[in-house]
């Protein structure tokens, strides 16, 4: 990963949260979107059909926010990706994306 660097935290119940933010000039937007797509595609392939809120019985879920700051001489686009999962999902995520976790 060149743009996403995840912070990781866990609750007392073992449910984990991985959060990453990337902010780039619009010319690099496709590269960030490709990395986000890679993460989500891996999660769906590794835990197929199990995306739902963990509190509702899901294995993992994700939330993505995109914001454009088109003002000034250097416009930017910022993505915030949050991925939450059960202990089994988190262990697999850490193994797969070890180089992208702070």
Query: Would you say the C-alpha torsion 43, 98, 92, 88 has a positive or negative sign?
Result: negative
Q: Are strands 16-24 and 76-85 parallel, antiparallel or unpaired?
A: antiparallel
Q: Is the pLDDT of residue 95 over 90?
A: yes
Q: What pLDDT does 53 receive?
A: 95
pLDDT band of residue 23 (cuts 50, 70, 90) is very high
Reduce the DSSP state of residue 44 to 3 states and report it: helix
Site of tokens 């990395």: 35
Q: What is the DSSP string of 50-82?
A: -BS-GGGT-SEEEEEEEEEE--SSS-EEEEEEE
Nearest CA-CA partner of 23 in 59, 64, 77: 77
Domain spans in the chain, listed from the N-terminal domain onward: 7-11+26-100
- What is the arithmetic mean of pLDDT over 87-94? 97
Our measurement of the distance from residue 43's CA atom to the centroid of its chain's CA atoms, rounded to an integer in Å, reads 10
Q: What pLDDT does 72 receive?
A: 72
Q: What pLDDT does 55 receive?
A: 92
- What is the arithmetic mean of pLDDT over 79-101? 97
Q: What pLDDT does 78 receive?
A: 96
pLDDT digits (tens, 9 = 90+) for 28-82: 999 999 999 999 999 999 999 999 999 999 999 999 999 998 777 889 999 999 9
């Amino acid at each position: 990963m060149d743009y996403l660097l995840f912070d990781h935290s866990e609750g007392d119940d073992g449910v984990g949260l991985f959060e990453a933010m990337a902010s780039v000039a619009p010319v690099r937007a496709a590269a960030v979107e490709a990395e986000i797509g890679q993460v989500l595609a891996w999660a769906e392939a590794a835990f197929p059909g199990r995306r739902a809120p963990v509190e509702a019985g899901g294995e993992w879920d994700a939330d993505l926010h995109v914001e454009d700051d088109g003002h000034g001489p250097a416009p930017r686009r910022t993505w915030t990706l949050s991925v939450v999962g059960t202990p089994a999902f988190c262990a697999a995520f850490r193994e797969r994306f070890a180089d992208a976790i702070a």
